[in-house]
A = this chain, B = another copy of it.
Amino acid sequence: MRLTSYTDYALRVLLFVAATDEAVTINVISAAYGISKEHLRKVVHKLAQLGYLHTTQGRNGGIRLGIPAENINIRDLVLQFESTELVECFNADTNSCPILGMCGLKGVLQKAQKSFLEVLGQYHLSDLVKNPRLLIFVKNAAA
């Protein structure tokens, strides 16, 4: 039971950007988190494509939120990055398990996953960046 690093990094990038009003760079985020620029570039690219981030070029350019943090639902965000194929039989196209349709496991796992996602759906990015220490950390990292 693990989210991919890709999802984890997407969440960390958004948390960082949401914790400041300034535009930030990939260099700054990379140094602050100790995550490679290569990985961050891919994540930022996808987040920008999805509209979560807005990036501008130039001297005062950088990365900002493309959507207010209050409107970024954690469930929706995670679903953009994470597969919901909890086990093989969740994907009818690739499933090879012969007891699909006879076994009660799929329904139970689906119910559990729904419950997991429902909890995430109760939160928005703005709920996760309320700790004043986070704001100070980001401010110092961006300085």
Binding site for B on A (CB under 8 A): 1-3, 5, 7-8, 11-12, 15, 32-34, 74, 78, 82-88, 96-99, 101-105, 108-109, 111-113, 115-120, 123, 127-131, 133-134, 137
Contacts and interface: CB of A to CB of B under 8 A. Distances in A.
Contacts of A120: 108-109, 112
Q: Is the interface of A mostly helix, strand, loop or mixed?
A: helix
User: How many copies of the chain does the oligomer comprise?
Assistant: 2
A67 B15 CA distance: 46
A74 to B, nearest CB: 6
Contact of A98 (B3, B123, B137): B137
Contacts of A102: 131, 133-134, 137
